C-alpha cells in the first residue's frame, strides 16, 4: 500500500484521499475572522453609521436627511464589502493548523 505524499495533503481536510488512505490537515484556509483588522473596522463602521443616523434628526423646518432606511442600506453595503474581503483573504492564504 503506497503512502500519501505529505506535500499533497497540505490544506486538505481530514478524510479519505483518492487511494482510500486517511489524509491529515496541515493548514487552515486563513486566520480566524476575529484575528483580523478588517473585522474591527467593520464593527466600528457599522456603529458609526448607526450613531450618525440616530444623531442626525429632524430639526425645525428641516427634514430628516439620514433616515433609518438609508443607514441600513449603508450597513448592507458595508456587510457585502466585508464578506468580499474575507472571501479574497480566504482564496489565497494559509494559516498553520494547530488542531484546536
Number of independent structural domains in the chain:
1
74: in domain: yes
4: in domain: no
- Residue 56 sits in which domain range? 31-94
52: in domain: yes
pLDDT in tens, the chain (100 residues): 555 555 544 444 455 556 666 666 565 556 676 777 788 899 999 999 999 888 887 677 777 788 889 999 999 999 999 999 888 877 766 655 555 5
- CA dihedral (31, 36, 40, 46) in degrees, to 10, reads -70
Closest CA relative to residue 39, chosen from 74, 89, 73:
89
What's the predicted TM-score (pTM) here?
Answer: 0.56
73: in domain: yes
90: in domain: yes
Amino acid at each position: 500500500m503506497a503512502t500519501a505524499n505529505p506535500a499533497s495533503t497540505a490544506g486538505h481536510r481530514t478524510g479519505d484521499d483518492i487511494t482510500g488512505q486517511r489524509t491529515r490537515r496541515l493548514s487552515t484556509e486563513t486566520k480566524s475572522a476575529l484575528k483580523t483588522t478588517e473585522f474591527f473596522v467593520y464593527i466600528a463602521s457599522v456603529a458609526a453609521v448607526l450613531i450618525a443616523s440616530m444623531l442626525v434628526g429632524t430639526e425645525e423646518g428641516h427634514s430628516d436627511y439620514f433616515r433609518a432606511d438609508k443607514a441600513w442600506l449603508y450597513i448592507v453595503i458595508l456587510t457585502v464589502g466585508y464578506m468580499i474581503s474575507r472571501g479574497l483573504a480566504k482564496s489565497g492564504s494559509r494559516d498553520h493548523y494547530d488542531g484546536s
